[in-house]
Amino acid sequence: MKTMNVAVYYNNNDVRLEQRPIPNIAPDELLVRVKASGICGSDVMEWYRIKKAPRILGHEIAGDIVEVGSKVKTYKVGDRVFVSHHVPCNTCEFCLHGQQTLCHTLHSTNFDPGGFVQYLRVPAINVDRGVFLLPDAMSYDQGVFVEPFACAIRGLRQAGFSAGQRILVLGSGISGLLFIKLAKAWGARQIIATDITAFRLQAATRCGADMTINARDDVAARVKDATAGHLADLAVVSTGAPSAVQQALASVRPGGTVLLFAPTEPGVQVPCDLFEVWNKQLRIVSTYAGSPRDITEAVSLLASKQVEIEDLITHRLPLSEAAKGFALVAKAQDSIKVILEP
């Protein structure tokens, strides 16, 4: 039995390099050799991950098809691909109404055994609707960004963003920075970003933010000054800090929108003045993941260089240093995107 290296998550401080059998594929499946795999912020949300540990995580992957099942006619050995771990059924009420990320199938599908491995098996349903060819000009590193970028694309679309708007991004981690780059590419009039670390505020400026604010300051007052009293048209909450939700509500104009992108731990309650929310006629929306449509658009924007993402990569590590990678992402101080290269 042939084996491969895998990184197994036990907790944020215990990620072990172990051996697992290389998966066998069925006639309607694929085997992919992982070339690059990104560590997502959700991978280090211990309250979310620990309940299913030990587990092989990783869902931001790019690689090569090395084995094709006899019934698969769409792909061939050697194809460079991004593979989506979650795919919709395309037939339920949610899917038929354009809400694929609420689909129960999407929440139950995955590739096997995870992305922090040398080889992964792509189940038939993922082969059917979750494999995307990487254009020749697109690197594996860019492929790693397809999934998180698709999430940002869906977020701005759900929030009704349009060119000429003022946008406030609360939290300048990898998701926040992708929102900044996307908003700039889509013609934002003004982009303001917050965070509590100077490292990430500097990154926000490099990514296109017109102004940065330390999140410990009076964010709403600073936004009001920066916009000559207009406030933001859209506030994107890309941090799980409950205070950011309150800052977002206070920093958007009457009739504006607050996008809840990053989750808090279950059970967290955020007090707010409901009269003010009602009186300002605010729109509050939330979003999760990305649909096939969003993934297709992400591939196009990245491959065409309309959005550049290489500057977000701060670390490339071998799979044997996965524990170091998790520590960097969990610390969230001197890293942005950490990529493992199995």
Residue 62 predicted with pLDDT over 90: yes
Residue 231 predicted with pLDDT over 90: yes
pLDDT for residue 333 = 87
pLDDT for residue 37 = 98
Residue 40 predicted with pLDDT over 90: yes
160-286 adopts what CATH topology?
Rossmann fold (3.40.50)
% the chain with pLDDT above 70? 100
What CATH class is the domain 3-147+290-341?
alpha beta
pLDDT for residue 202 = 97
DSSP, collapsed to helix, strand or coil, labels residue 20 as strand
pLDDT for residue 56 = 98
Q: In whole angstroms, give the CA distance from residue 62 to residue 50.
A: 25
The string of pLDDT tens digits covering residues 8-19 is 999 999 999 999
The string of pLDDT tens digits covering residues 68-126 is 999 999 999 999 999 999 999 999 999 999 999 999 999 999 999 999 999 999 999 99
Q: In whole angstroms, give the CA distance from residue 85 to residue 328.
A: 24
pLDDT for residue 38 = 98
Could you tell me the two tokens for 332? 């969230």
Domains of the chain by residue range: 3-147+290-341, 160-286
Beta strand 252-260 with 283-286: parallel, antiparallel or unpaired? parallel
Are the beta carbons of 181 and 207 closer than 8 angstroms?
yes
The string of pLDDT tens digits covering residues 121-173 is 999 999 999 999 999 999 999 999 999 999 999 999 999 999 999 999 999 99
The string of pLDDT tens digits covering residues 166-216 is 999 999 999 999 999 999 999 999 999 999 999 999 999 999 999 999 999
* Alpha-helical segments (H) within 193-241: 198-207, 219-226
Residue 76: is it exposed, middle or buried by C-beta count within 10 angstroms (0-12/13-18/19+)?
exposed
pTM metric for this prediction: 0.97
Helices (H) and strands (E) in the chain, counts: 13, 15
| pLDDT tier for residue 332 given thresholds of 50, 70 and 90 | confident
